[in-house]
Structure 1
């Protein structure tokens, strides 16, 4: 992948909206993900904290997408929505294990691993660096509309029409070629 043109980011296809700030104790912008956020490592959702979103925000959604996955359609690692508007931080591991730290009412849909949680980075060996795009969406409704049975694409469709603003943080991970 490193000698090829990188696929576009998921937001490149969406109408522009204002941005706000998302930071993490676990993900450093454009730097290698920690082992805790790797599928074969800790497989823990990272800490995320956001601020500066529009005053009309009624809920949030959080996603993690790998546009560099060799699938032709990327790979969804995490899709969580209906996070109450008064929640502006998710602790590390909130979307992993027993999920006791998830806010009441938040809804997960299946990621591309087929599970309703955060699934860590797992690019194929030798495929080059993959970008993991963590996005927080400020949403104009308390409930986005879909339930936990829809696909990430349906959630993305709804977010396209109900996002007031977006914040993004990109981490990178690579597995060296074997042998």
Structure 2
């Protein structure tokens, strides 16, 4: 009996390894691994950066078995707020999606059907690029969470990052992360 159990566990482990690790990548960064100028925050936000505020392209592979949708967040863990700063939230990404193209507009242009962007810490939906204070390097964590539900409950475009986070965590099957460490664009050329 012990041998059968051991063989069963080995087979399950081998199948999981064959599938590979759930992983996420940011596909169109600068050669130095930092954000390109078009991906940093634009001037109208008032933080002193003059980028294009265009979202980067993302891709992922090997989501957990049973995944029915994804949620993407981009969080600056080092923002001087005590809580960090949420730069991007995309909910209800369909389970069959394996990428997001660059330059997704604030009105959900180029998103897979059914996906939606919710409010960020800028107060509006859509991608808000990096703009750390002068002289600082911040960690921007891109996190893709695989969910056991097709759609997050009670989440629309006006949902706060905390509300999306609550329902994401409650329905999570697994996470894939990618961190971009960068300073202010004018300081890293």
Give 1:88's aligned residue.
98
Q: What is the aligned residue count?
A: 158
* Equivalent residues in 2 for 1:100-115, closer than 5 Å: 100-115=109-124
- What SS does structure 2 have at the residue aligned with 1:166? strand
Is the Cα–Cα contact under 8 Å of residues 75 and 85 in structure 2 kept in the other structure? Answer: yes
Listed one character per residue, the Cα deviations across residues 44-68 of structure 1 (whole Å, up to 9, x for unaligned) are 1110111111120000111100010
Unaligned runs of 5+ in 2: 1-20, 42-49
* Equivalent residues in 2 for 1:145-156, closer than 5 Å: 145-148=153-156, 149-156=158-165
Is the Cα–Cα contact under 8 Å of residues 26 and 47 in structure 1 kept in the other structure? Answer: yes
Listed one character per residue, the Cα deviations across residues 28-52 of structure 1 (whole Å, up to 9, x for unaligned) are 7x93222222013121111011111
* Equivalent residues in 2 for 1:23-172, closer than 5 Å: 23-27=25-29, 31-39=33-41, 40-94=50-104, 96=105, 99-126=108-135, 128-148=136-156, 149-172=158-181
Is the Cα–Cα contact under 8 Å of residues 51 and 88 in structure 1 kept in the other structure? Answer: yes
Distance 1:41 1:77, change over 3 A: same
Task: Give every structure 1 segment of 4 or more consecutive aligned residues whose post-TM-superposition deviation is greater than 3 Å.
Answer: none
Distance 1:51 1:75, change over 3 A: same
Unaligned runs of 5+ in 1: 1-18
Q: Higher Cα Rg: structure 1 or 2?
A: 2
RMSD of aligned alpha carbons:
2.2
